[in-house]
Amino acid sequence: MNKNKNIFALLDQEGPFRVEAEPDGPRLFSPRSRQWLRDLQAAGLVAKYRVTRNQLFELLGIRGFDEISALLADPERRAVVEQRAYTLLGNMFGLAGNQREIIARINSYSRIADGVINYLRAKVLANYASYIEMTNEIDSTRSPIDLLLIIFDPRYHRKARFEAKRKLILMNLAGTIDQRERETAVEQKFLRFLGFLNDQVWSRKAKIGELEIVYLLSRHHPESFACLEVEVKGREQLPATTGPNQKITMIKRRFFPWRGREIPVYVSIRKKPPEAKVLKLLRKGEENPAVAVDDELGLMAVVDSTLEVKIFQQHLTESAGRAGSLLTLEDLSDTLGGGDHQSASPGSSPQTEMCKFFARMGGMRVEFIVHTNRSFLNYIYQRGVSHDEYEVKRIFDSGVARLLFPSDIYEIDISEKREALLRWFRCRIEEI
């Protein structure tokens, strides 16, 4: 989907929907209004403007922009409008329950919207957190109507009005994700997936959640920091100090049974949180989570060798059969034995080594990423490949950093900080 024609066009500070210094509504026949209309036509966004305007008027219960100032000055009318808006939004997102429950659910979308920004401030853009901090009044506002009216309220600074609009758009994405999760019963599927792993996949000789702690002692290339060799050690076998280009990485492993053996495997299981799904929609420029988010359920496994990768795949197939379901592998990509990693994701490196596939079983579609110890260490440490670097690159290369933190709103051109952040993450990866 062309992100220039969908909801993200409303957020673009370089487009016709940019937030200006003053929130002047469209004025018929004024030079500014005529120029704005030409910009709208040039961007092919006239239809998007009409749809958005009609939605705004319906939510506010007005017929024109000139009624907004009266609404801003009338607290009693605003309260009535707000209650009606919650009902309209609740019906749009298919929410069940009484009015209080619907309001609480919609307000929870504001926490997800704030969580998207706070995640970027705390991790990927942590070095510039003070520059991109949210205005207190916007951070504490949950009501969609209050946020919508702030956009048109001349008492608020331009930055606050931009952040109100940004929060509304992120809340809308959170609502579509929540609706999708309820329609597809993701929470129930995640619990079923955990049950399948515990009942059929992992060893019965260990208690649920019982893990073996081991350490990967690895030596890395001085230039690429790719893993050259790795050994599995117990705590008592570790050297007192590490040498140049050496790393010690702790992992906690489970076991799965195979032909009378117990094969160790490090496992990370996750259900992608709403904040991560919102970011994925932003990166892909896609409003529909059914299209953009295909990895809601996932598992990453790390085994000792490529042979054990194949054994693990076969064990999964047999385990699903014991559970009464055929298991089929879809979109299989295996670069553990060489070859370039093919990915449409911005920032992804062709040097990434992994075995990736989707397993369809028991009414679920689960993403599996399987590593050897060596490829897992490359996933953590290798220059140009490491996941920390990938997180930085995909936020910048997809345009999300520029979209969420435009330079004319914030006192920083965040898009110019890509290389500095990559250097900082490299330093942290290699020195810690």
Sequence-ordered list of residues with C-beta below 8 angstroms from that of 13, at least 6 positions apart, any chain:
19, 162, 406, 408, 409
Q: What is the rounded CA–CA span in Å between residue 406 and residue 395?
A: 13
Within 13 Å of residue 334, how many CA atoms lie on the same side as its CB? 11
Q: Tell me how many degrees the CA angle 90-96-97 measures, rounded to the nearest 5.
A: 105
Q: What is the pLDDT of residues 213-231, one digit of tens each?
A: 999 999 999 999 999 999 9
Q: Is the pLDDT of residue 295 over 90?
A: no
Question: What one-character DSSP code corresponds to residue 197?
Answer: I
Within 13 Å of residue 199, how many CA atoms lie on the same side as its CB? 11
Count CB atoms within 10 A of the CB of residue 50: 11
β-strand 297-303 against 364-372: which pairing, if any? Answer: parallel
Sequence-ordered list of residues with C-beta below 8 angstroms from that of 6, at least 6 positions apart, any chain:
48, 285, 286, 287
The SS3 assignment for 215 reads strand
Q: Tell me how many degrees the CA angle 69-72-78 measures, rounded to the nearest 5.
A: 130
Q: Which range scores top for mean pLDDT: 25-29, 75-79, 267-271?
A: 75-79
Report helix angle 158-184 to 144-151, nearest 10: 150
Locate 428 and state its tokens: 């942290």
Q: Taking residues 381-409, what's their average pLDDT?
A: 94
Q: What are phi and psi of 86, to 5 degrees?
A: -60, -40
Question: In the structure, what pLDDT confidence band is assigned to residue 4 with cuts at 50, 70 and 90?
Answer: low
281 and 287 in contact (C-beta within 8 Å)?
A: yes
| Alpha-carbon dihedral angle through residues 221, 223, 226, 232, given to the nearest 10 degrees | 40
Within 13 Å of residue 431, how many CA atoms lie on the same side as its CB? 6
Q: What is the rounded CA–CA span in Å between residue 128 and residue 110?
A: 23
- What are the boundaries of each domain within the chain? 7-183, 186-213+252-398
pTM of structure: 0.90
Q: What is the pLDDT of residues 94-147, one digit of tens each?
A: 999 999 999 999 999 999 999 999 999 999 999 999 999 999 999 999 999 999
190 and 58 in contact (C-beta within 8 Å)?
A: no
Sheet containing 328-334: which strands, arranged edge to edge?
A: 227-233, 212-220, 246-258, 261-271, 297-303, 364-372, 355-361, 328-334
Instruction: Identify the pLDDT of residue 2.
Output: 47
Count CB atoms within 10 A of the CB of residue 405: 24
CATH 3.30.460 holds for 186-213+252-398: yes
Q: Taking residues 414-423, what's their average pLDDT?
A: 92
310 and 33 in contact (C-beta within 8 Å)?
A: no
Q: What percent of the chain has pLDDT over 90?
A: 72
How many helices (H) and strands (E) in the chain?
Answer: 16, 8
Q: Is the pLDDT of residue 173 over 90?
A: yes
Question: In the structure, what pLDDT confidence band is assigned to residue 332 with cuts at 50, 70 and 90?
Answer: very high
